[in-house]
Homo-oligomer: A and B are copies of this chain.
């Protein structure tokens, strides 16, 4: 595992020491749910390794993707909710084996005034998540499913650092709140345009794909 100061270069050494001394490091297997909708949050989450997925569950169990969290990032929901012991409005799940750090709430409040770097880190986290949500809103409000699919695949590929996407069309449909048939149709079109190739449970993005639809 990378040392913490490499993972969180923004944080001052004294703070990193406190973090190491006081928070619990946990290894999570892939596809485990860390936080459920309605659950009360007792500690803040920092991602050390792996990838977490933040999503909203709909009535039928569909997992509508909001965004991914990468090493060095913190779960904004947990930061906001933890300090007030509020119920989470979203689900958090590991998409691969991940290592997370759980910081007790009381310390967070202290650190806020004690460490300027923590204060800025938290603000930066809020800002980034806000922007992520704005981007998401833009997409679902202004774009059609074909563009949203491309955006989704790009994001997935980036979060998993791979051009190979191992998901069924059904899973993708769930995350975009669409239906399998629609996603299959759109993927076929992209395949015809030679932007990707399809096989069972895998989508292989070609180089041209990433040139498509900037932002």
Contact = CB atoms under 8 A, between A and B. Distances in A.
Interface of A: 56, 58, 64, 66, 76-77, 80-81, 83-84, 86, 89-90, 109, 112-113, 119-120, 123-124, 126-127, 129-131, 133-134, 136-138, 140-142, 177
B127 A84 contact: yes
A141 B64 CA distance: 9
A80 to B, nearest CB: 4
Given A84-B123, A130-B77, A56 B112 contact: no
A152 B49 CA distance: 41
B56 A130 contact: no
A134 B90 contact: yes
A76 B130 contact: yes
B77 A124 contact: no
A131 B88 CA distance: 10
Given A113-B112, A134-B56, A127 B177 contact: no
A85 to B, nearest CB: 12
A124 B84 CA distance: 9
A137 B134 contact: no
23 contacts: A56-B134, A56-B137, A64-B141, A80-B123, A80-B126, A81-B127, A84-B123, A84-B127, A89-B130, A89-B131, A109-B119, A112-B112, A112-B113, A112-B119, A113-B119, A129-B130, A130-B133, A133-B133, A133-B137, A136-B137, A137-B140, A140-B140, A142-B177
